[in-house]
């Protein structure tokens, strides 16, 4: 029987204890070696797998299937929030004879959404002339829509703040145009802060979110027959910019 007070070495004998210790040490070292080899095998497996992933990623890049960065034209040139560029595209969409193939659809939807007290005949819309950067004595309108019986003046803001008395000056410079209407275009349809008195009463608001809806509706109503494919692709491209930047 083992007597703990006598001790392990007394039971095993003085000569056998060093041998037992040596075998235990060897077993421990062998186990440590086995663990290290297992870990090395795992590391080797992951290195091989990562190298394979890197090779496949390189192949995808070469084939044009691994992509990054902007996808719309305005984003590519770093001007996706530049209001003058947005005004140019919106004015183009309002042009009844534009190659976009929307006819008067977008223009009619825009006028209906913001010029609530005006009724325009189809003839008025077909004869509309849309111009950007119209300069007057004390102001410059971003977009002006001239029709036989009415004028629509649009001031647009994306990120920039309004200039000093900007909308008041715009109203004063264009108030004598035939049946003038004033629209303030912004990302969320906020009212202008530089319009007071009669100008404040005259300005309607419209958002770029509404512009998205109007373009989509116009595209859905368009037959697409005989439409310039490049121009129609430009409309889709601009829609993608609006959705990315303002939705």
Mean pLDDT by groups of 10 residues along the chain of 247 residues = 53 60 73 81 86 91 91 94 96 95 94 78 88 97 94 95 96 95 96 96 96 95 84 96 95
3-class secondary structure, 74: helix
Over its C-alpha atoms, the chain yields an Rg (Å, rounded) of 37
The predicted structure's pLDDT at residue 13? 54
The predicted structure's pLDDT at residue 106? 95
Contact 145, 151 (CB under 8 A): yes
The predicted structure's pLDDT at residue 224? 76
Beta strands per DSSP E along the chain? 129-135, 140-147, 150-156, 180-186, 203-207
The predicted structure's pLDDT at residue 35? 82
pTM above 0.85, yes or no: no
């Amino acid at each position: 029987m083992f007597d703990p007070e006598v001790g392990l070495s007394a039971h095993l004998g003085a000569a056998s204890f060093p041998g037992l210790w040596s075998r235990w040490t060897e077993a421990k070292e062998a186990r440590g070696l086995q663990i290290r080899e297992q870990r090395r095998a795992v590391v080797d497996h992951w290195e091989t797998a990562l190298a394979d992933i890197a090779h496949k990623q390189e192949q995808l890049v070469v084939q044009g299937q691994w992509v990054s960065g902007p996808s719309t034209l305005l984003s590519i040139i770093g001007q996706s929030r530049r209001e003058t560029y947005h005004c140019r595209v919106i004015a183009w969409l309002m042009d009844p004879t534009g190659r976009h193939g929307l006819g008067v659809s977008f223009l009619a939807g825009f006028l209906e959404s913001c010029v609530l007290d005006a009724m325009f005949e189809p003839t008025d819309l077909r004869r509309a002339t849309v111009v950007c950067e119209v300069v007057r004595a004390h102001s410059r309108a971003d977009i002006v829509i001239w029709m036989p019986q009415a004028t629509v003046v649009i001031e647009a803001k994306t990120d920039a703040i309004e200039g000093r008395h900007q909308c008041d000056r715009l109203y004063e410079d264009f108030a004598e145009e035939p049946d003038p209407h004033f629209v303030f275009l912004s990302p969320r349809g906020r009212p202008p802060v530089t319009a007071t008195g009669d100008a404040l009463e005259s300005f309607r608001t419209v958002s770029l979110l509404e512009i998205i809806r109007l373009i989509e509706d116009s595209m859905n109503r368009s037959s697409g027959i005989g439409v310039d494919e490049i121009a129609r692709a430009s409309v889709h491209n601009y829609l993608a910019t609006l959705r990315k930047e303002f939705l």
